Amino acid sequence: MNNKYFTKSAFKLALECSTKLYYCCDDSYANQDVDNDFLQALANGGFQVGELAKIYYGVTDATNIKELDYETALLKTQELFKQENVNIAEAAFKSGNLFVRADIIEKKGHHINLIEVKAKSWSKKDKIAKKRGGIDLRIKSYVYDVAFQKYVIVQALKELYPNENFTVHAYLMTADKDAIAPIDGMNQMFKIISKDKITLSEETKYLAKMLWVLKAFDVDDACDTIINKKKDEVEEKSFKAFVAEMANAYCNKTRLSTALNTGCKKCPFYVNDKKETDKGKKDGRMECWTQKAGLSIEDFKNKPLILELWGGAGRFIKNGSYLLENVKASDLEIEDTDTERANEPLKAKERKLLQIGISTNDASKLATFRDNLIGTDIYLDKEGIKAEMEKWKYPLHFIDFETSAPALPFYKGMHPYEQVAFQFSHHIVNKNEDGSYSISHAGQYINTKKGFFPNFELVRELKKQLEGDEGTIFRYATHENTILRSIRKQLIESEEKDKESLIAFIENITKPTSEERNADRTLQAGKRNMVDLQIIVVDYFYAKSMKGGNSIKEVLPAVLNASKFLQQKYSQPIYGSEIHSENIPADAPISWISVTNGVVDNPYIKLPPVASYLNMTEKEMQDFAKYSGSEISEDETIAQGGAALTAYAKLQFSNLEDSEALTKALLRYCELDTMAMAFIWEYFYHECFG
């Protein structure tokens, strides 16, 4: 950045970490978030929500300040302010070295309504302030953003118009949770052509008059509380003093020091060795940890940081433990590490000690786990997993959903950010009479009907595929349970003829969410409640390569690299022939496993990339997935989940020539998602019973 103004984005960085202000001003530092603002807005619906807000307030081309130049934007704002009443988008204000562009300014004489637009859902039932006067964490960063803008705008107006008495009132405009879409296809009335071009359908302009989806929530009192506090809850100083200090540091490129904390794990100012553009760049995160923690560059690069610790590292960092090797068993309240343990699920503190021991190859920390260690890198409690497996009924079913939750709903009757479940995959494991097992891709579903709400049909198809037996059903993590419970609520409010049957099915294979349990303590888990395979992993398995993570993207590579059995079996082209697939033909079977430099390649590279169908590069899809809450590893060729929203939108609302090919690609990727679960199960089964 070459500007000398402290802006909204700089203020946001300062709240996260004041040292980031220094790194972002210097192009010699690697920055993994460069150009990601566009992708973040794309992922969460920010562009569409922003455009809709402009329509709501009647912003025209004449009152939409698109100029990126600071001085030009300031002059245009002042010119528009000559009008008695005017609504302006991207109005610019400056006070000293502070500069903001407001999403919407509604000027009514000498009264100014400041409207900050966020792609976030909120309800009139939600409380901005908590009982003790703090701000709800779900909306806190947004309110601070608005407070900063109000502070700058008030100061700017005083400087520009010293003899006029302007008042400023702050609002936060978000998608209203209580709103209901009046028609189908609202989402696709705003088509994003490029970073600076969005096309609107004619119908959008008519529909926007209904003001149905966005609502401006009053946050003025909260903003005033933040601005006028003598001691701010974010920083140990007043808000005004904090802003002044951060602005001076930013504009003068002065390095400030922030204490190391768990947020360092997500710091974007690091060198990615796989990126050509990062070569020759400086690593800001490494600088912080070598300077503040006193680590050598060799230790930082070669020893596992405390940031990797499963379950959080905050208290250890505060106590000066910066490497995993610095943590003692007593720090975890474990006194005796040389006692044989029963084959039962790992307790949280045990799993932390296990991770530290494996990561640092510290035998003293691994004494209690020695009976379940495979080499020095893997922990596998075979007896514990056996006990779990004995509870499971064959055939075993593995399911995975693809969903999207757009800010502007796809379908009539839906709320903003309400989930649409448009695809699932289903693998099955059968036990044969001779005691052997067979795996097959048993079924799938994807909605390709344009304008069709798929949730209920998806449940019908899932019910059809699962109700023929009482076999155990598996999910990985909570997503499928959450989605099915959400569809249950939709069914209750629907007029579907078979809704009682579908609700009963959902209740039988799921458990109530915490929110549901809080509302109704009588709700219970179903008799066939899905088994969370991730919990089995957390309780009984750990590999050094997982680095504290337990998501399937971390567990799958660990399992494939640990198992010679899986490597030998799936390096053969048997998938599609010996193992049935709904998408891969028997006369053209594939192998899932290949090895490069002694490491198993990610199976997803075996599938053809779909980036071209979405008009996105592979890197953009990676970043899009990250901002959609579905981050994946760097070598995968589709942003699972993140790109699903874009892909589904293209299938639903565009005349895409390659729609059939895109559909096939999505089916194959979802198929691999459930096969990944089967890989994990098969590894456990072979190790325990093979």
Give the model confidence (pLDDT) of 118-145 as tens digits.
877 777 777 776 555 567 777 788 899 9
pLDDT band at 159 (very low <50, low <70, confident <90, very high): very high
Whole-angstrom distance, CA of residue 286 vs CA of residue 66: 38
Identify the H or E element spanning 199: strand 197-200
Please, is 623 exposed, middle or buried when counting C-beta atoms within 10 Å of its C-beta (0-12, 13-18, 19+)? buried
State residue 72's pLDDT score.
94
Whole-angstrom distance, CA of residue 401 vs CA of residue 600: 26
In this model, does residue 587 exceed pLDDT 60?
yes
State residue 430's pLDDT score.
97
Instruction: Count Cβ atoms below 10 Å from residue 242 Cβ, excluding itself.
Output: 18
Whole-angstrom distance, CA of residue 381 vs CA of residue 373: 8
Please, is 26 exposed, middle or buried when counting C-beta atoms within 10 Å of its C-beta (0-12, 13-18, 19+)? middle
Tokens 């119908």 identify what position? 203
pLDDT, mean of residues 154-160: 97
In this model, does residue 631 exceed pLDDT 90?
no
State residue 658's pLDDT score.
64
State residue 639's pLDDT score.
33
Tokens 């079913």 identify what position? 397
Identify the H or E element spanning 518: helix 514-519
Residue 326: closest CA among 304, 350, 345: 304
Q: What is the pLDDT of residues 292-303, one digit of tens each?
A: 999 999 999 999
CB 334 within 8 A of CB 349: yes
CB 408 within 8 A of CB 117: no
Q: How far is CA 584 from each of CA 63, 551, 587, 593, 673, rounded to the nearest angstrom? A: 55, 26, 9, 16, 15
Whole-angstrom distance, CA of residue 25 vs CA of residue 641: 33
CB 582 within 8 A of CB 441: yes
Q: What is the pLDDT of residues 267-310, one digit of tens each?
A: 999 999 888 889 999 999 999 999 999 999 999 999 999 999 99
Q: How far is CA 226 from each of CA 129, 142, 246, 315, rounded to the nearest angstrom? A: 12, 12, 16, 28
Task: Bin 656: left if φ > 0, else alpha if -120 < ψ < 50, else beta.
Answer: beta
Q: How far is CA 619 from each of CA 27, 35, 271, 643, 672, rounded to the nearest angstrom? A: 20, 11, 16, 12, 21
In this model, does residue 609 exceed pLDDT 80?
no
In this model, does residue 545 exceed pLDDT 90?
yes
Q: What is the pLDDT of residues 396-432, one digit of tens each?
A: 999 999 988 777 777 778 888 888 899 999 999 999 9
pLDDT band at 198 (very low <50, low <70, confident <90, very high): low
70-79, 186-195, 211-220, 523-532 — which is least confidently predicted?
186-195
The backbone torsions φ and ψ at residue 291, rounded to the nearest 5 degrees and listed phi first, read: -80, -45
Q: What is the pLDDT of residues 80-91, one digit of tens each?
A: 999 999 999 999
Domain boundaries, the chain: 36-218, 381-450+541-690
39-48, 275-284, 493-502 — which is least confidently predicted?
39-48
CB 358 within 8 A of CB 376: yes
pLDDT band at 586 (very low <50, low <70, confident <90, very high): very high
pLDDT band at 618 (very low <50, low <70, confident <90, very high): low
Listed in order, strand segments (DSSP E) in 432-490 are: 437-446, 473-475
Whole-angstrom distance, CA of residue 492 vs CA of residue 500: 8
Beta bridge partners of 431: 437
CB 105 within 8 A of CB 55: no
CB 554 within 8 A of CB 572: no
Distance of CA 430 to the CA centre of its chain: 35
State residue 182's pLDDT score.
72
- Name, in order, each residue with C-beta under 8 angstroms of 45's C-beta and a sequence gap of 6 or more: 119, 175, 187, 406, 407, 408
Q: What is the pLDDT of residues 459-489, one digit of tens each?
A: 999 999 999 999 999 999 999 999 999 999 9
**Two structure tokens written together for 220:** 């003025």
Instruction: Count Cβ atoms below 10 Å from residue 567 Cβ, excluding itself.
Output: 16
pLDDT band at 441 (very low <50, low <70, confident <90, very high): very high
pLDDT band at 340 (very low <50, low <70, confident <90, very high): low
Q: What is the DSSP string of 367-381?
A: GGGGGGEETTTEEE-
Q: How far is CA 328 from each of CA 130, 337, 349, rounded to the nearest angstrom? A: 38, 11, 11
pLDDT, mean of residues 510-531: 94
- Name, in order, each residue with C-beta under 8 angstroms of 672's C-beta and a sequence gap of 6 or more: 603, 604, 607
Whole-angstrom distance, CA of residue 214 vs CA of residue 178: 10
State residue 275's pLDDT score.
85
pLDDT, mean of residues 172-193: 72
The per-residue pLDDT of the chain, averaged, comes to 86
In this model, does residue 242 exceed pLDDT 50?
yes
Whole-angstrom distance, CA of residue 423 vs CA of residue 237: 50
pLDDT, mean of residues 629-637: 30
Give me the amino acid identity at 385: I
CB 184 within 8 A of CB 451: yes
Cα atoms in the 13 Å half-sphere on the side-chain side of 572: 9
pLDDT, mean of residues 363-371: 90
